[in-house]
Structure 1
């Protein structure tokens, strides 16, 4: 029997897409989000074709693309901005969709939030789960405000630092990759028409992507600096200092940033629950189950694919337990491949000159394999 009542914990991309997909298939969905305000956090986001396909399946693609910037190529440049090569990006969502789109996270999340509300999902903000009590055919939940509920299934979509992961009995925890990222939103130069990556400079690499008609997302991949810097307000002077040596459009973007620019700085972490993501009638998905370095830009795609497939299986003909087993059989090999290849790229970035390193091949092979159905 398909599920009737589902609790989704976490209102980011994963939880929003799942809630929307389940509601569209007739399930009674409650979504709880620990933040008292529900909006997109972070800076820019790269949405590959397979993520666009997932967004199309839940009916929000047109709204997202109305503000996003689609493109089918990327350019590699040397640190001074000299063009190395231009590459066609595989159409992982099919030939009828853009290969890639750059977007503001806030624009994507706003589209999802509005659609979730429009489809009747019961959204409760400033709330999370305090306790789970599982039975054979349901889960009783006690929330942090002491209210309770009974559900056919509970889904943890609460990100890489998931509390649900440990709550359902999975002891996997994130680990640092060994690199960090500075991120800013800036004015989009007129000549920027696709993502570009700068190699060979003093740090691992720098790059940018257009994310709206007048904005771009620029970043710098660096070694792990002092943990006290982590947060949404790192010094702009530090970004400029660490990015010295990169010229071209990237150098002009950073030089022209207003002094009050919000600079987000994070250590990059990874996690993979390399086994079943479910315990009884509770499961974690998205970044709570798997999160990879952003070197292939598949994070959002893997999360959205999880959500769409899980909704499809939970509302199909299989019993819940069998549906979860089918889900794992289809998702784990795919996300493991993406994560392992992303980690390999990170290792080559950290240790340049490694014999046999071939980043172009591994990126092409990964994206090429993702054109296959989920």
Structure 2
């Protein structure tokens, strides 16, 4: 058997950071490049992380840091427009009984925890750098970088997100497609009454919700139909999100009064992507949002990326040859879980777009129960 030892990871998000940590632990030489000079360490408001993602974070050795920074909870509330609680659903513990069902975190906090773990792993990290050209043969991949340097690798892992240049470079033509919905997100101080995610369906938006991210913070979001990219100028983002939020009661008035800085508001279209057939070409393989993405209806986007990293690293360090058979095994293990998440997440949004009262709780329950199994 030939054991390949030098790996390039393109992209320093959850998937790229995680696979880097795992491969370094196994003794492989790993270079990680990230296009953003700040390594996305300050980007985003909050993130909801389910138990199966926490299971991977524990395997990465960062659970203690996550636990110290997050806000755990175990249920989902449904409220009416005025904020009156209508129903409480108990969350399914997809990571096992010894982990919380769900936690909220400030997204930059989670990213920083992973960054610190990558640094501690001994991987070589180059920020503000992209792969300009990839040329592969039977033995590996030659890479030309944006700074004019070159490298030779036994494997390249493309973890460069939704608009992956690596995906395009290896001839995979699938592209993300808008689902018809978009989301406004912002961080805000946490009112004492907010101890879990609560959702309101209806009003001027399809969904209004919030998630506690620490003892003192939360992130709030409002989901509506997609608008033209230039329909609302960025300097008006706070005014527009606050206009939507003002229609909701309960703790929303307290949240809304902090929606004042347009620079803290993120407006994003929902997309769907699921690459079928295989996630590799030769010695270049894709993980995370580069091959699958969906609306955050199940809060499983980060979980699926983390699981990709775990499964791929397990196979790469199993002693098997790094060949088509191994990379196809990776795809076959991942595709049923990822398809379940993508299809269910898109369906939940489509019911809203079509004004159909589908079996939302049943679909969520079936999907999350399926995800309790190990990836």
- Which stretch shifts more, 281-290 or 265-274? 265-274
**In structure 1, which of residues 90, 93, 96 is the aligned counterpart of residue 95 of structure 2?**
93
Question: Against the structure 1 CA distance between its residues 312 and 162, is the aligned structure 2 distance closer, same or farther, given a 3 Å change threshold?
Answer: same
Question: Against the structure 1 CA distance between its residues 123 and 48, is the aligned structure 2 distance closer, same or farther, given a 3 Å change threshold?
Answer: same
- Structure 2 match to 1:364: 365
Mapping of 1:206-245 within 5 angstroms? 206-228=208-230, 234-245=236-247
Paired residues of 2:6 and 2:153 also in contact (CA < 8 A): yes
Paired residues of 1:179 and 1:221 also in contact (CA < 8 A): yes
Give the deviation of 1:245 after TM superposition.
2.0
1:242-268 CA distances to partner (integer Å, 9 max, x unpaired)?
333211112331134345662111111
Give the deviation of 1:123 after TM superposition.
0.2
- Which stretch shifts more, 221-230 or 64-73? 221-230
- Structure 2 match to 1:270: 272
Query: What is the CA–CA distance in structure 1 between the aligned matches of 2:336 and 2:35, rounded to whole Å?
Result: 31
- Structure 1 match to 2:338: 335
Mapping of 1:187-198 within 5 angstroms? 187-198=189-200
- Structure 1 match to 2:37: 36
Q: Secondary structure of the equivalent of 2:297?
A: coil
C-alpha RMSD of the superposition: 1.5
Query: What is the CA–CA distance in structure 1 between the aligned matches of 2:179 and 2:328, rounded to whole Å?
Result: 30
- Which stretch shifts more, 207-216 or 228-237? 228-237
Query: What is the CA–CA distance in structure 1 between the aligned matches of 2:224 and 2:290, rounded to whole Å?
Result: 25
Q: Secondary structure of the equivalent of 1:154?
A: strand
Question: Against the structure 1 CA distance between its residues 232 and 11, is the aligned structure 2 distance closer, same or farther, given a 3 Å change threshold?
Answer: farther
Is 2:251 aligned against 1:254?
Answer: no
- Structure 1 match to 2:321: 319
Question: Against the structure 1 CA distance between its residues 96 and 229, is the aligned structure 2 distance closer, same or farther, given a 3 Å change threshold?
Answer: farther
Paired residues of 2:246 and 2:256 also in contact (CA < 8 A): no
Query: What is the CA–CA distance in structure 2 between the aligned matches of 1:78 and 1:138, rounded to whole Å?
Result: 57
Is 2:289 aligned against 1:287?
Answer: yes
1:295-353 CA distances to partner (integer Å, 9 max, x unpaired)?
00000000000001111110112111222111111001110111011111010111123
1:210-254 CA distances to partner (integer Å, 9 max, x unpaired)?
001110000000111231257976521111223332111123311
Paired residues of 2:46 and 2:218 also in contact (CA < 8 A): yes
Query: What is the CA–CA distance in structure 2 between the aligned matches of 1:40 and 1:259, rounded to whole Å?
Result: 16
Query: What is the CA–CA distance in structure 2 between the aligned matches of 1:132 and 1:117, rounded to whole Å?
Result: 25
Query: What is the CA–CA distance in structure 2 between the aligned matches of 1:7 and 1:331, rounded to whole Å?
Result: 21
TM-score w.r.t. length of structure 1: 0.96
Mapping of 1:10-89 within 5 angstroms? 10-38=11-39, 39-89=41-91
Query: What is the CA–CA distance in structure 2 between the aligned matches of 1:76 and 1:58, rounded to whole Å?
Result: 34
Query: What is the CA–CA distance in structure 1 between the aligned matches of 2:195 and 2:235, rounded to whole Å?
Result: 28
Q: Secondary structure of the equivalent of 1:316?
A: coil
TM-score w.r.t. length of structure 2: 0.96
Query: Which residues of structure 1 form unaligned runs of 5+?
Result: none
Query: What is the CA–CA distance in structure 2 between the aligned matches of 1:216 and 1:229, rounded to whole Å?
Result: 27
Query: What is the CA–CA distance in structure 1 between the aligned matches of 2:251 and 2:106, rounded to whole Å?
Result: 20
Query: What is the CA–CA distance in structure 1 between the aligned matches of 2:24 and 2:42, rounded to whole Å?
Result: 21
Question: Against the structure 1 CA distance between its residues 231 and 291, is the aligned structure 2 distance closer, same or farther, given a 3 Å change threshold?
Answer: farther
1:259-304 CA distances to partner (integer Å, 9 max, x unpaired)?
5662111111121111201000001110010001000000000000
